[in-house]
Amino acid sequence: MTDKSQVHWEKVYAEKAEEEVSWYQETPEPSLALLELVGTRPSEAIIDIGGGASRLVDVLLAKGFKDVTVLDLSVDALNATRRRLGQVSDEARWIVADVTEWEPPDVYDLWHDRAAFHFLNSDKKKSAYIERLRRGLRIGGHAIIGTFATDGPEKCSGLPVTRYSAESLSTLLGNGYTLLDARRHEHTTPWGAVQKFQFSTFKKIS
């Protein structure tokens, strides 16, 4: 994403409360089910890409996960989550960065992304993301990537998105990953609209 995108997201989180954005979830499903599916343990390192004001980090810390990192382009989004968590927020790591320009400082056991990747529409941005995934996820680790499905919305928060099936995303990632699970999810926004998501779970094999 560009600096223009960062301005966009800072404006969104400055003007809207957590419960007023379309992607708000009180309980982060199906992400939790997929973490359980791949057998993620509390000792493993998890990074939540585009985690923003998501409540996934709340649940993970409450369950005793010890190595949780949240990366987002928006300072305001991360600050909102840290305020919500209070002192517990010190148990997680917080990174303000554009994932396509970020240099992973560690290798993670699980890479989670609910609705960040689908905002990358150019081949250059997609390739940069996939390169960060390659560097940042250990062999044998898992990637859970949630995008709008092929029949999902064409835009989110006024921005265009690229929609995916599990097959098209698998092709884009390449031969280094095995698709373990593919499931659709219908997310209901705070105002009752239904958004069709595709969640694809991969194991890194090389």
Tokens of 90: 């010190």
Beta strands 194-204; 137-148: pairing state? antiparallel
Q: In this model, does residue 5 exceed pLDDT 80?
A: no
Residue 58: pLDDT band by 50, 70, 90 thresholds? very high
List pLDDT tens digits, range 65-103.
999 999 999 999 999 999 999 999 999 999 999 999 999
CA–CA gap between residue 83 and residue 100 (Å, rounded): 27
pLDDT of residue 1: 44
Distances (CA, A) of 56 to 33, 96, 179: 12, 17, 23
pLDDT of residue 189: 87
The mean pLDDT value for 180-187 works out to: 97
Q: In this model, does residue 23 exceed pLDDT 70?
A: no
pLDDT of residue 192: 86
Classify residue 101 by burial, with Cβ atoms within 10 Å: 0-12, 13-18, 19+: exposed
Q: In this model, does residue 2 exceed pLDDT 60?
A: no
CA–CA gap between residue 145 and residue 142 (Å, rounded): 10
What residues pair up with 156 in beta bridges, in sequence order?
Answer: 159
**Ranges of each domain in the chain:** 3-204
Classify residue 85 by burial, with Cβ atoms within 10 Å: 0-12, 13-18, 19+: middle
CA–CA gap between residue 162 and residue 202 (Å, rounded): 19
Q: In this model, does residue 19 exceed pLDDT 70?
A: no
How much of the chain exceeds pLDDT 70, in percent?
89
Q: What superfamily in CATH does domain 3-204 come from?
A: Vaccinia Virus protein VP39 (3.40.50.150)
List pLDDT tens digits, range 124-176.
999 999 999 999 999 999 999 999 999 999 999 889 999 999 999 999 999 99
Q: Please provide residue 101's backbone torsions phi and psi, each rounded to the nearest 5 degrees.
A: -115, -5
How much of the chain exceeds pLDDT 90, in percent?
83
Name all contacts of 61-69 with Cβ < 8 Å and 24+ positions apart. 61/85, 61/88, 61/91, 61/92, 66/42, 66/91, 67/43, 68/92, 68/93, 69/45, 69/93, 69/94, 69/95, 69/106, 69/108
From 123, 131, 112, 157, select the one nearest 7 (Cα to Cα): 157
Quote the mean pLDDT of the chain. Answer: 92
pLDDT of residue 122: 98
The mean pLDDT value for 21-46 works out to: 91
Task: Break the chain down into helix, strand, coil percent, rounded to 5.
Answer: 35, 30, 35
What residues pair up with 155 in beta bridges, in sequence order?
Answer: 160
pLDDT of residue 4: 66
pLDDT of residue 21: 64
Rg (CA), the chain: 16
